[in-house]
């Protein structure tokens, strides 16, 4: 049984429980990924849920991300996605798997009728939410292929392993709102997220990103609230990831 959106609360809880504790069986590998990215099935007595499994043992060290792990930053991005209410990142957990401890994320079936090459440049609220999210987590790799549009109209985002850097490294294909003023709802969202960072969210994030990265996250939120505009590309860093797809 593969469960897709929308789900009621009970089914959602069962799906997430299966991903967290179910038997994890690797059935394939995404060969285009630079780090070990495995397709897996998490199974329980009632469900079989497709997942992406990224074991820490399969990560390649990155010179500019010397601390932490890709898996830890993926999970931290999920926590921020949930705490902010943006719901960008599919359900994600950290757990043991066949190749050791790593990140396990719910697989999202994208709408095959959506042309990603047309989607990414559109002026739609779902993409703008991803722009704000990427500005918060300092995403250095928002590619077209990391957009996951569903048949229900929601757009998820994936691959958040290179995020939360202390320096501004924002790279994205989504620059159509460059310099746009924040909406009132976005300002309220940022204020709520800042409050959460002062409490339990900050404590939990501190287990997965460094204290320097945590302070930088707080500073980025403050800067967004001060300027009240979405990011503008800078000459200090390439603004678009390569390849863009």
Question: Which of left, alpha, beta for 126 (phi over 0: left; psi -120 to 50: alpha)?
Answer: alpha
pTM: 0.94
- Find tokens 């830890």 and name the residue: 72
pLDDT in tens, the chain (245 residues): 223 344 566 888 999 999 999 999 999 888 677 788 999 999 998 899 999 999 999 998 888 888 899 999 999 999 999 999 999 999 999 999 999 999 999 999 999 999 999 999 999 999 999 999 999 999 999 999 999 999 999 999 999 999 999 999 999 999 999 999 999 999 999 999 999 999 999 999 999 999 999 999 999 999 999 999 999 998 888 999 999 99
Angle at 52 between CA 67 and CA 213, to 5 degrees: 20
Cα gap 23→51, rounded to integer Å = 12
User: What ranges do the domains of the chain cover?
Assistant: 9-227
Cα gap 174→81, rounded to integer Å = 18
The DSSP element (H or E) to which 54 belongs, if any, is strand 48-55
């Amino acid at each position: 049984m593969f469960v897709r959106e929308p789900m009621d609360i009970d089914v959602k809880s069962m799906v997430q429980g299966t991903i967290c504790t179910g038997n994890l069986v690797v059935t394939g590998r995404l060969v285009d990924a630079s780090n070990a990215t495995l397709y897996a099935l998490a199974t329980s007595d009632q469900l079989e849920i497709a997942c992406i499994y990224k074991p820490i043992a399969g990560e390649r060290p990155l010179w500019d991300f010397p601390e932490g792990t890709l898996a830890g930053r993926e999970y931290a991005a999920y926590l921020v996605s949930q705490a902010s209410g943006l719901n960008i990142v599919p359900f994600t957990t950290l757990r043991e798997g066949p190749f050791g401890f790593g990140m396990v994320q719910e697989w999202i079936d994208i709408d095959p009728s959506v042309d990603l090459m047309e989607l990414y440049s559109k002026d739609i609220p779902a993409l703008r939410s991803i722009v704000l999210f990427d500005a918060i987590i300092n995403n250095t790799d928002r590619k077209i292929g990391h957009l996951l549009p569903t048949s229900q109209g929601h757009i998820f985002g994936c691959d958040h392993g290179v995020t939360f850097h202390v320096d501004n490294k924002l790279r994205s294909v989504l620059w159509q709102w460059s310099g746009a003023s924040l909406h009132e709802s976005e300002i309220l969202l940022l204020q709520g997220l800042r409050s959460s960072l002062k409490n339990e969210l900050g404590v939990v994030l501190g287990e997965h990103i460094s204290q320097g990265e945590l302070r930088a996250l707080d500073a980025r939120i403050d800067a967004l609230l001060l300027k009240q505009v979405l990011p503008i590309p800078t000459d200090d860093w390439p603004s678009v990831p390569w390849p863009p797809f």
